[in-house]
Amino acid sequence: MEKLIRVCLLMLCLLISIGLPADICAGTVKEYSVKAALVLNFARFTDWPTDAFADSPETFIICVVGDNAVWEAFAGIEGKGVKGRRIVVKRVRRMRKFCVCDLLFVSGSDRHRLPKIFAAVEGKPVLTIGEMTGFTEAGGIVNLIRTENRITFEVNPDAAQQAGLKISSRILKLATIVSGSHGEEFK
């Protein structure tokens, strides 16, 4: 018990000594803030089919699969405009909700959920954006890749075409182009 008290004292000293240096490193930007900003740009430089927004002409729905940290970063782009529509960010826990999304961001590296996600958006005009190795080969449209401390991305134009989306050349010329499709089995 005596040692425990010493541990507590030591902790206290350490905590005081750092003096709450919150956000001391202002020069860099958090990974998911950059990813949210990139997603906003992808939305702006992609054309959806004309009937895609028939259900909700006022809003552009971005669905986010991820934890509260990812969700919080994406809350920063809520209310911004895309093609005259207001962005609404929805946090998705269940696969069955994907049909309402215009854009879907899948965070993390859990590949096991990909088949269900791609099955849910099959043939629908949903821009799928992920951040794991093999996302585009498996049928995703855009994959964000972290290389050291910057972000690059790959695009699968075939998958975009299957979804009925047209990605601007401005995006394509910055991207690594990947081919591959997630199979016709769901048709």
Partner 1 sequence: MDAIRLLHISSINKLSLCLAVCLWFCGVPVWAGQQSFTPASEEDILDLSLEDLLNVKITSVSKKAQSLSDAPAAIFVITSDDLRRSGSTCIPEALRMVPGINVARIDSNKWAVTSRGFNGRFANKLLVLIDGRTVYTPSFSGVYWEVQDTLLEDVERIEVIRGPGATLWGANAVNGVINIITKHAADTQGGLLALGGGNKERAFAGARYGMALGEGTYGRVYAKGFKRDEFVHLEGGDAGDDWDMLRCGFRVDSRLSGRDALTVQGDVYKGNINQTLELPTLTAPFSQTFKDKADVEGWNVVAHWQHTLSPTSEFTLQMYYDRTDRDEEFEHEIRDTYDIDFQHRFAAGDRHDIIWGLGYRYTSDDFSNSLVLSMDPDSSSDELFSAFLQDEITLIKERLWLTLGSKFEHNYFSDSEFEIQPNARLLWAPHPKHKFWAAVSRAVRTPSRIEHNGKVVTAVLPLDPPIVLTVVGDSDYDSEELLAYELGYRVVPAKSLTMDFTVFYHDYDKLRSSELGLPVFDGVSIEQPLWFDNELKGEIYGVELATVWQAADWWRWDLAYSYLETDMDTRNAQDKAQNSDGPQHQVSLRSAINLSSDLDLDIWLRYVDDVKTVSGNTMSLVDINDYLTFDVRLAWWPHKDVECSVVGQNLLDDKHPEFVQESFTLPTEIERSVYGKLTWHF
Give yes or no for residue 161 binding partner 1 (CB under 8 A). no
Exactly one of 50, 54, 57, 93 binds partner 1 (CB under 8 A); that residue is: 93
Q: Which is nearer to partner 1, 64 or 102 (CB)?
A: 64
In whole angstroms, give the CA distance from residue 173 to residue 46. Answer: 14
Exactly one of 48, 60, 105, 118 binds partner 1 (CB under 8 A); that residue is: 118
Give yes or no for residue 22 binding partner 1 (CB under 8 A). yes
The interface with partner 1 within residues 50-79 (CB under 8 A) comprises 67-72, 76-77
Shortest approach of partner 1 to residue 51 CB, angstroms? Answer: 21
Give yes or no for residue 115 binding partner 1 (CB under 8 A). yes
Number of residues that bind partner 1 (CB under 8 A): 76
Q: Which residues of 119-140 are buried (b: 16+ CB within 10 A; e: fewer)?
A: ebbbeebbbbbbbbeebbbbbb
Nearest to 74 by CA among 109, 34, 118, 131: 34
Q: Look at strands 166-167 and 46-47 and give their pairing.
A: antiparallel
Give yes or no for residue 158 binding partner 1 (CB under 8 A). no
Nearest to 145 by CA among 126, 162, 129, 163: 129
Burial (CB count <10 Å: 0-12, 13-18, 19+), residue 158? middle
Q: Which is nearer to partner 1, 45 or 59 (CB)?
A: 45
Give yes or no for residue 49 binding partner 1 (CB under 8 A). no
